[in-house]
Chains A and B, each alone.
Chain A
Amino acid sequence: MTAPAVHPRAFPGIRTLSRRGALFGGLCLCCLPTLGRAAESFTMEEVGPGIFVRKGLIADATPENADAIANIGFIVGQKGVLVTESGGSLADGQWLRAEIVKRTTKPITHVVLTHVHPDHVFGAGAFVQDKPVFIGHAKLTEALSARGEFYRKRLIDLLGEDRTGPVVYPTLSVADTAEVDLGDRRLTFTAHGPAHTTSDLSMIDSGSGLLFPADLLFVTRIPSLDGSLKGWLKEAERLKAMGPSRAVPGHGPVSVDLAPALADLTGYLTALRDGTRAAIAKDVSIEKAVDIVARDQRDKWALFDTYNGRNVTVAYQELEWE
């Protein structure tokens, strides 16, 4: 996802800790690595041979859900395990690690940090003990330097320090493309230009042909813009050109047909772009634009009311200088 309160511009979901929430969070400390009530229904689904994905909640981070809102998972290869997404908090990452250990004795050799947002990187702390290669976009280190502590403090306010975990930096930076060989399958990584964020990394698995676009692809949940609107539309074309037919989106179902999912995504982004451009051309101010742009997309996306106005705010700043 993205974020307003936690992410400077994104993380609208972080709320002030309610008394009930604080209490529940406190209780939860004793039963790590389970996530609490919301996690009881969590299961790993096998979306391809040796590929397991947990569907994230279509919600914002709360003390009860431990920020388990992204689709996270792992791939079991001949030589070891690659974690495709680490989780939204240390607690979420610990839950994922426990799920891995239940299924295989192979070492966890790689953890992918798909971009800077907290719901995708704070699970990494759970895997530090495995000494894996942490793979990230070449711009991820600087993005985490700028925002990591900011996000961490917000998450601590919500979950407490013990369940939040450290900011983990990539040890393998991808500037263009990179490949990881797990023996029986190869993972090919692509570093994308500014799109959802400025540090988006996608991956294709040679074993299944599945694309892992992370948050370059939102399904069901409204996309959140924190990089470049025009850039995202460009990178969406690039994903399509890569040719895979199925993908594991960053949010939404655990796997989808790529073409229609990308069409829905670009439908929203195009409505956002064209509506914002029209507002700017007509001298509609930013505070009025947030209420009118892309309204026709409202029924198509969950959490529309939480994120659309913020997306318009971000888009307006990018497009008003055209």
Chain B
Amino acid sequence: MTHRIGQTLSSLALGLALATTVLAPAAWAAGASDTDQERAARWQEIAKSIFGDRQIAQTDSLVKIDAPVRALDAALVPITLTMPNDGQIKAVSLIIDDNPAPYAARFEFGPAADPAELKLRVRVNNYTDMHAVVETQDGKLYEAKQFVKASGGCSAPMGMSDEEAMKGMGDMRMKFAETGAGKPVEATLMVRHPNFSGMQMNQVTRDYTPARYIDKLTVSAGDQKVFTLTGDISISSNPVINFAFKPDGKPIQVAASDNQGGHWQHSFTPPSPTN
């Protein structure tokens, strides 16, 4: 199991083109009883492995994380990232400090994005701090934090066989909320994919199902990028992402790939703006 976690960590590091420092086991073996100082020290270590020596300032306004304080389902913890300053945000990263692979997701926004609100669902393996780090257009970093109580989300077995979990893999749906003319459109993207964490037991072989997760997902409105998501094993199975974009009447394109070479593309037609 430790072996698998090691693999997962390095694949994360490669996938996100980070410094390939593999965190010491102590970094995720921590439990519910950690002190604030221990948590802060761990965050320092993780932040350094992801952002190097760049300064990260605290923020109350540029990004806010909303997550349930106590998760109802550790394998599906709904997260909302609020970034009210339109035009200032270049990218946002979500880090779940005590997960085996802490770097859960990174969204890089394009010109068609409206990053005011972003929702996704994640796995949480332990009582943990969760950090959102935004990068502004001027290249500065700002962080916000929330503590979440959950456990076992990454190793939680799915209630079905691997084959069933993989049924329809790559299918997608998109729902659009009604909106006024000239306003950003809110959309919900649903992707069928088990996002195997590599820590779940196969029900038949009783061995661990290898990690298989969406590692790259790009959403575009016509030729303009909305966002590119770099993902990892912390994203829940059958990923659902809520986001907003600036419509220009062209179809929304979604291209997704996973770490085992799977690749899927879909196109969706947003409702025409009503006057």
Contact = CB atoms under 8 A, between A and B. Distances in A.
B71 to A, nearest CB: 8
A285 interface: yes
Contacts of A227: 159
B72 A16 contact: no
Contact of B80 (A143, A145, A287): A287
Given A149-B201, A286-B121, A321-B190, A313 B155 contact: no
A5 B152 contact: yes
B76 interface: yes
Contacts of A150: 152, 155-157, 201
Contact of A317 (B32, B119, B238, B242): B238
A149 B156 CA distance: 11
Given A5-B152, A227-B159, A320 B240 contact: yes
Interface string A131-152: 0000000000011011101100
Nearest to B177: A283
Most chain B CB atoms below 10 A, which of A8, A142, A198, A310: A8
B159 A285 contact: no
Interface in B133-178: 151-153, 155-161, 173, 175, 177
A285 B157 contact: no
Given A146-B157, A147-B157, A285 B78 contact: yes
B75 A9 contact: yes
Contact of A145 (B121, B186, B201): B201
B26 interface: no
29 contacts: A4-B73, A5-B74, A5-B151, A8-B75, A8-B152, A8-B155, A12-B72, A142-B204, A143-B159, A143-B203, A145-B204, A145-B206, A146-B157, A146-B158, A146-B200, A146-B201, A150-B201, A154-B152, A197-B159, A283-B175, A285-B80, A285-B242, A287-B68, A310-B72, A313-B72, A313-B73, A317-B76, A321-B173, A321-B238
The CB with the most chain B CB atoms within 10 A, among A146, A310, A317, is that of A146
Nearest to A116: B159
Contacts, number: 80
B188 interface: yes
Interface in B182-206: 186, 188, 190, 192, 200-204, 206
A142 B155 contact: no
B190 A8 contact: no
A8 B153 contact: yes
Interface in A292-322: 309-310, 313-314, 317, 320-321
Nearest to B157: A146
A158 interface: no
A227 B160 CA distance: 9
A198 B242 contact: no
Interface string A250-283: 0000000000000000000000000000000001
A121 interface: no
A1 interface: no
Interface residues of B, number: 38
Nearest to B240: A320
A67 interface: no
Given A150-B156, A321-B173, 17 more contacts: A4-B74, A5-B152, A8-B157, A9-B73, A9-B75, A142-B161, A142-B203, A143-B203, A145-B202, A145-B206, A146-B158, A146-B202, A227-B159, A283-B175, A287-B66, A321-B190, A321-B238
A198 B119 contact: no
Contacts of A85: none
Interface in A10-41: 12, 16
Interface of B is mostly: loop
Interface string B1-36: 000000000000000000000000000000010000
Contact of B156 (A9, A142, A290, A313): A9
A147 B202 CA distance: 10
A215 interface: no
Given A285-B242, A310-B73, A317-B238, A8 B161 contact: no
Nearest to B78: A287
B203 to A, nearest CB: 4
Enumerate the 5 nearest inter-chain pairs by beta-carbon distance, A residue then B residue, closest first.
A8-B156, A142-B203, A146-B157, A287-B78, A146-B203
Interface in A208-263: 226-227
Contacts of B186: 283
A227 B206 CA distance: 20
Nearest to A287: B78
| Listed residue (A154, A227, A313) with the most chain B CB atoms within 10 angstroms of its CB | A313
A198 B72 contact: no
Nearest to A227: B159
A320 B175 CA distance: 11
A4 B203 contact: no
A226 B73 CA distance: 11
Contacts of B173: 321
Contacts of A283: 175, 177, 186, 188
A286 B201 contact: no
Nearest to A7: B156
Interface string B41-75: 00000000000000000000000001010001111
A150 B200 CA distance: 10
B201 A226 contact: no
Contacts of B177: 283
